[in-house]
Amino acid sequence: MDLRRSMLFIPGNNPGMLQNGGVFGADSVILDLEDAVAPMEKDAARFLVAHALRTVDYGSSETVIRINPLDTFAAADIKAIVPCCPDAILVPKVESAADIHQVIAMIAAAEKPGQTPVKIIALLETPCGIVEAYNIAKADPRVVALALGAEDYTAGLGAMRTKEGTEIFTARTVLINAAAAAGIQSIDTPYTDANDEEGLLADTELAKRLGFKGKLSINPRQIDVIHNVFSPSLSDIDWAEQVIQAIRKAESEGSGVASLNGKMVDLPIVNRAETILHLAQLLGLMEEKK
Amino acid sequence: MTSITKTAQAGTLESSDVMITVAPGTQGSGIVIELESIVLAQYGEEIKAVVEKTVKTQEVTDIYIKAADRGALDCTICARTLTALSRAGAVLKEEML
């Protein structure tokens, strides 16, 4: 399982930001060829991002490229970017499994022999995309996550975008459920007010409670808040360890069900505990705890 | 060897960027590079070398290039030069290199 607690957008035509993208510690950096680049500068951004991928050290951050939509510059983006070995492509405005198949055909044609297959993260940002979420998630094993783009989505609904986010509640839960059913990750829409840390915290906590595994980010200042919310706390780790101990003890006594502090511990609880411990191990929190 | 057909520009004057302007040169003039840089004394020759290598790799000649550098890395200089060449009508040999 790849960590995608935070996925930081970096404008694709800004050399200063592209060369420093790896220093913020985001789990993924998204080098953006779409909304952050003016139509007349698409060619320049493509050259710049391709060269950045080949030469800039993004450390442990996953490199993701947001290409332009299929009906604009996607083909040129994929042809130029895929041979530079990004980890994943973020495809905007995905509305069907057919969109994914079309992108995969272009990626496969652009990949070099022996290249690690480029993954796909589908950005759902239209009402149609939300309706088709499960089919998109199951379209191909290259699809590793669904992400929500709430600004375009609410425009499509004709709704007002609010900080409380009631207008995107359905989209969030449908997307999370579709991703979980397909066994892939769900990534929440960015919180667009970079100066409102309290609002970001509340929105990220809501996202985690609903089941998202990470959040898109539009400013490096948001990363610490997002990581704090999506990383297991020491009490989470303690609880998970107790669950595993309890179930092992029960198994050694010939039972598949245990109890912990008066509460039943069954398979879904064990799965949740194992996920927390796996995440804690990935983040080095087990060592810290010792 | 080929030459470009029109004047074109790529890049900005923002920090860490370089603005490359290319124009067709007279026949036989070769590659003429004029550089203005905040780090001219330290890296002027290196920057010119990156621009020249990028142009030569595309087998373009008889070209005048003005580079206004604001501390760009080699990868940025190369990318902006290729963009300017492409916009000036050069058919790039290899799209990204």
Domain map (residue ranges) of chain A: 6-230, 234-289
Scan residues 8-27 of B and list those with Cβ closer than 8 Å to A: 10-11, 14-17
Determine, yes or no, domain membership for B63: yes
Q: What is the pTM of this model?
A: 0.92
Contacts of A80 in chain B (CB under 8 A): 95-96
Token pair 């905040």 in the structure block, residue: B38
Q: Which two tokens stand for residue A92?
A: 């905007």
Nearest by CB to residue A47, choosing from B14, B17, B82, is B82
| B87 to chain A, closest Cα gap in Å | 9
Determine, yes or no, domain membership for B93: no
Contacts of B72 in chain A (CB under 8 A): 15
Contacts of B15 in chain A (CB under 8 A): 16
How many whole angstroms separate alpha carbon A17 and alpha carbon B58? 28
With H, G, I as helix, E, B as strand and everything else as coil, classify residue B68.
strand
Contacts of A47 in chain B (CB under 8 A): 79-80, 82-83, 86, 96
B78: domain CATH number is 3.30.230.10
Query: How many CB pairs below 8 A link A and B?
Result: 52
B78 to chain A, any CB pair closer than 8 A? The answer is yes
Contacts of A84 in chain B (CB under 8 A): 96
Closest residue in chain B to residue A84, using alpha carbons only: B96
Residue pair B97/A112 in contact (Cβ under 8 Å)? The answer is no
Which of A112, A119, A7 is CA-nearest to residue A58? A7
pLDDT above 80 for B97? no
Determine, yes or no, domain membership for B33: yes
Nearest by CB to residue B75, choosing from A16, A56, A80, is A56
CATH number of A6-230: 3.20.20.60
**Beta strands A263-265; B8-10: pairing state:** unpaired
| B76 to chain A, closest Cα gap in Å | 6
Nearest by CB to residue A19, choosing from B16, B80, B83, is B16
A211-240 pLDDT tens trace: 999 999 999 999 999 999 999 989 999 999
Determine, yes or no, domain membership for B15: yes
When divided into structural domains, chain B yields a total of 1
Q: Which domain holds residue B46?
A: 8-87
Q: What is the pLDDT along chain A (290 residues), one digit of tens a residue?
A: 689 999 999 999 999 999 999 999 999 999 999 999 999 999 999 999 999 999 999 999 999 999 999 999 999 999 999 999 999 999 999 999 999 999 999 999 999 999 999 999 999 999 999 999 999 999 999 999 999 999 999 999 999 999 999 999 999 999 999 999 999 999 999 999 999 999 999 999 999 999 999 999 999 999 999 999 999 989 999 999 999 998 888 888 888 778 888 888 888 899 999 999 999 988 888 877 66
- Which pLDDT score, from 0 to 100, does residue A144 have? 98
Scan residues 41-70 of B and list those with Cβ closer than 8 Å to A: none
With an 8 Å Cβ cutoff, the interface of chain A facing chain B consists of 14-16, 19, 43-44, 47-48, 50-52, 54-56, 79-80, 83-84
How many whole angstroms separate alpha carbon A64 and alpha carbon B50? 27
How many whole angstroms separate alpha carbon A70 and alpha carbon A72? 6
